[in-house]
Amino acid sequence: MVKNTEINLSTLAKDLKRTPSDAVVIGVGQGSDGPVLLENPLTAKSAEALTDSLKVLGVTGAADQVVRLPGLPETGSGVLVLAGVGKVAAGRPLTEEALRRAAGSAVRQLSGLPTVVLALPTAGVADVAAVAEGAALGAYSFTEYRSSNDGLKDPVRNAVIYTDVTANDALRSALTRAGLIGKAVNATRSLVNQPPSHLYPESFAEAAKELSKGLPIKVTVWDEKRLEKEGFGGIMGVGKGSTRQPRLVKVEYAPAKATAKIALVGKGITFDTGGISIKPALGMGDMKSDMAGAAVVLNTVLAIAGLGLPVKATAWLCIAENMPSGAASRPADVLTMFGGKTVEVLNTDAEGRLVMADGIVAASLEYPDAIIDVATLTGAQLIALGNRTAGVMGSDSVTGPLKAAADRAGELVWPMPLPEELRPSIDSQVADLANIGERHGGMMTAAVFLREFVGKGKDGEQIPWAHIDIAGPSFNNGSPYGYTHKQGTGCTVRTLVAYVEDILAAAA
């Protein structure tokens, strides 16, 4: 169902002419006095002539600027590409994220060229890894529902990184990791981009099985009969208004020598009309992306398995379609959630927290070291943090490392508080809880609701937990930028993989 986009990654340390390519990319930065040609493999004479011509050519070095020129004899390519990396300062190396974005932007904009050499400055393995990851993220397209590919350009198939870094096991591992991360992010994007006519609870569950093939992964699916029998009232309550019945999917990677145990819970609303509390028509088509959280946690576990990390990682995909019908939940209905708590549904468009609550309870029963849930949960997230920054809330022991992992991965995440005065606002007159509360600070109110369902560990204390609201950054309605394409972005996969790597490194 999901046609993934992958790229071949390799390195080159010698004469460019030995590796024929369709384009060679070198970097240009924005210096205090104008554009600056960065370290590159050109001859001194060619580099000097090019430097003298930058302003005349209109090259600024701004991020995302890509300028194509005729190739030079020493490059072995017909095209020389100048890729902007943004602001630079003398004596200050480029950040990994600047390299990642420059490589991703160049590869994205060079679609139609099969092989591209990326000759950006790389001082060590981490820099090479950043360039490789950017290339893997930039090489993406989603065309599976086109009747013809006429006029469309295929993404770059081969990215060769020109570097002086000596080839060794660390470098090979870095390229392997970059390829797996790119594959996971692009699979997430493709799931988010699926039309709701084709991606619905049952087909999403099948896609999870398909994507897991070839990996040491166990996939378990709860259909509507099992969900009803076992008391998953949140998922059933949201999904019963649709003719396409809900699913809960457990995706488990359990290596024999696991040293940590993590649970990931993802919101999988394959289409969200708002239910009886129906949304306005304007922009409703974007609600095909309301399953991004489930796509993220699925592909995070697949990436962890592909990397062979010694951690037991379990993804819980809470999947339903939120539709209005004679069978749909009504405002004022009371649902009995998995685990027994009751919730008064005051707004059927606050459905994500209902399916997530069931998943969090189920995850808690396995006593993981931490639970992280990911969801396109609230419009309030966009109001608070905009389109590109995710909000993270929960236990300090999880939110702090998540923020550090996001910084390392190059993703934008910002910690938000959970003020105690918000808890009384979700009290109900007829049930244990109401599914909406204080309007102001709605992103945090939703997290306070979810916290009520986090179980206790074997030590009797609440399991460390974090909630990541990706309502804005999961879907790009604007222009492409860096390695980010339009529509599904695949955000947070890289952060979660980095988080797992960090906790393993800390325990080593």
Distance spanning both ends of the chain, measured CA to CA = 39
Which of 435, 441, 399, 401 minimizes the C-alpha distance to 422? 441
d(CA 182, CA 169): 20
Q: Identify any residues that bridge with 390 across adjacent strands, giving them in sequence order.
A: 413
SS3 254: coil
d(CA 186, CA 192): 10
d(CA 62, CA 102): 10
Which amino acid does the sequence have at 396?
Answer: D
The DSSP bridge pattern shows strands 475-476 and 433-434 to be: unpaired
Residue with tokens 């994007």: 189
Which residues carry a binding-site annotation?
267, 272, 290, 349, 351
Which residues carry a binding-site annotation for Mn(2+)?
267, 272, 290, 349, 351
Which of 31, 129, 111, 100 minimizes the C-alpha distance to 68? 111
Query: What amino acid positions are annotated as catalytic residues?
Result: 279, 353
CB 202 within 8 A of CB 244: yes
CB within 8 A of 455, min separation 6: which ones? 339, 360, 361, 364, 365, 462, 463
Percent helix, percent strand, percent coil in the chain, to nearest 5: 35, 25, 40
Cβ count near 154 (within 10 Å): 14
